[in-house]
Amino acid sequence: MTRRKIVAGNWKMNGSLESVVELVQGIQTYATLDVVVAPSFVYLPVVSNMVRDTDIKVAAQNASEQAKGAYTGEVSLSMLQDFSVSHVILGHSERRSLYGETDAQVAQKVAATLAAGLTPILCIGETLEQREAGITLDVCQRQIDAVLDVIGTEEFAKVVVAYEPVWAIGTGKSATSEQAQEVHKGIRDHIAKRSETVAQVVAILYGGSVKASNSAELFAQADIDGALVGGASLDVQEFNSIIESAK
Ligand code: PGA
């Protein structure tokens, strides 16, 4: 089964209006893969407008599970739809560790995102402590099951999973392609226990210190369907090289 590759840039809380515009102008796309960029909420209108006639897709870095109301500081999915956002990064480890997002809350966000017709990019992954304790797959399975139990197996086919070992995020220390492939396969095998078909269609991205020098090797692995790129996606040449290595 050949799954279409996805390269997504997570710009986190970085950039300025000027640098974001410059970055978007420089991004290369190829017909054979999906390129997604996730600017800060405030830059979504500008970026969406810029990419309107291109193949670049736009993601938000979070969304509320609530439809509307008294939730100061939150952004709803319908607001994101107003700006042609197609993907939403959910459950990023920074959201989980710094802002206390739980598995249950992430599951509600995934459900709301799918209900709105957008594609969730569900981030999962273990901490260094958990890896050293030998529970990497247990952690990933728990994070996936929390979502599967809420949305059901069939809907999970529309989810993009991003396996991001927490110890590899922003550290410069990527998982090796073997380490990543092992977990990606473990995740796919776990989904296959519910449905072989769904397991085969689900895109599983790797994230955590992906750069131009390691992307090709990661993308060559059977169960790695692309990348969620943080730091390296802020450098247009570096990001373009990563995109090129996925085509
Ligand atoms: P990084 O971040 O590429 O800077 O490690 C990845 C992410 O947090 O999605």
* Confidence at 195, pLDDT banded by 50, 70, 90: very high
Measured from the CB, is residue 210 less than 6 Å from ligand 1? yes
Q: What percent of the chain has pLDDT over 90?
A: 99
Domains defined for the chain, CATH in brackets: 5-246 (3.20.20.70)
Give the torsion sign (CA, 222, 28, 30, 53): positive
Tell me the Cα Rg of the chain.
17
Residue 1 has pLDDT above 70, yes or no: no
The predicted pLDDT at position 2 comes to 79
Ligand 1 lined by 152 (C-beta under 6 Å):
no
The 3-class SS string of 138-196 reads: HHHHHHHHHHHHHHCCCHHHHCEEEECCHHHCCCCCCCCHHHHHHHHHHHHHHHHCCCH
Cβ(88)–Cβ(77) under 8 Å? yes
Nearest atom of ligand 1 to the alpha carbon of 208: 5
- The neighbour count for residue 191, using CB atoms within 10 Å, is 25
Across residues 62-89, what is the average pLDDT?
98
List pLDDT tens digits, range 112-162: 999 999 999 999 999 999 999 999 999 999 999 999 999 999 999 999 999
Residue 34 three-state SS: strand
